[in-house]
Amino acid sequence: MALICGVDEAGKGPAIGPMVMCGVVVKEEDISKLKALGVKDSKLLTPRTRERMFNEIKKIAYKHKIVKIPPKEIDDIILNRKTMNLNWLEALTSADIINALKPDKAILDCPSPNLLAYKKYVRNLLDNKKIKLVSEHKADLKYPVVSAASILAKVTRDREIEKLKKKVGMDFGSGYPSDPNTVHFLKMHSEKFPEILRHSWKTIKNLKAKRCQSKIDSF
C-alpha cells in the first residue's frame, strides 16, 4: 500500500491574512476516488464547489495536515532573515508537513523557477531521505492529490479571511493588492488593524511611506 502525498498552498500573494499550506495523503488505489470527485486546481472551482469537496476529500484521505502561517511569521521570515524568502518558507513548511505525514511519495507544487534547487532544499529537511520526491510547476493541475491539497488549503484560507472580516467589522475583499476593495481598506483603515497585515509587502510599505511623507509635508 503506497501512500502518496500532495502539498500545496493558498494565500501566498495577499497583503492581508495568513498563508495556508496543506498536505493530503491518499492510498495509491484511492487516487481514482479523487478523480471521480472532480478535484482540480482550487482556482478553477467555485467557492461552493470547494466547500462541498472539502469534507469529501478528508473522507478519502488517509491523512492530512493543514498549517496556517500568520502575517507576523511571514514578516519575521522576510524582514529578519536576509537569505530567506517566501519560497523557502514554503519549502520549510512543506518538509514539516511531509515529516508529519510520513508518505512513501510526496508531490510538491513548486513555487521556485529552479525546480532542482527547491527539491534539493526540501529533501535535505526530510527525516526520511528515501521518500520519493516530485517537484513540478503547476502540479495542482496534473496530480489529483495535489489538487486535493490545493482545495483544502484554499477553503481554510477563505474561512480565515471571513473570520478577519468579522473581526474588523467590514468587507476588505480578497486581501490581494489587485483587489479594489482591499486597496480601499488598506488606504482607509490599515492603521487600525496592523495585526492582520503583512508589513513586509511592498503595498503596505508604500502606504506607510506616503503617510510618513504626508505628516512631514503638513508639519
pLDDT for the residue 208: 78
The tens digit of pLDDT for each residue in 105-128 reads 999 999 999 999 999 999 999 999
Q: What's the rounded Cα separation, in Å, for the pair 183 and 123?
A: 39
Could you give the residue range(s) of every CATH 3.30.420.10 domain in the chain?
A: 3-165
CATH 1.10.10 range(s) for the chain read: 171-218
Determine the topology of domain 171-218 in CATH.
Answer: Arc Repressor Mutant, subunit A (1.10.10)
Low-confidence ranges of the chain (pLDDT < 50): 216
> For residues 103 and 25, is the Cβ–Cβ distance under 8 A?
yes
The pair phi, psi for residue 170, each rounded to 5°, is: -160, 160
**Span 22-42, pLDDT tens digits:** 999 999 999 999 999 999 989
Per-residue confidence (pLDDT) for residue 198, from 0 to 100: 95
Residue 212: per-residue pLDDT: 62
- The number of beta carbons lying within 10 Å of the beta carbon of residue 130 is 7
User: Rounded to an integer, what distance in angstroms lies between the CA atom of residue 141 and that of residue 144?
Assistant: 8
Q: Domain 3-165 adopts which CATH fold?
A: Nucleotidyltransferase; domain 5 (3.30.420)
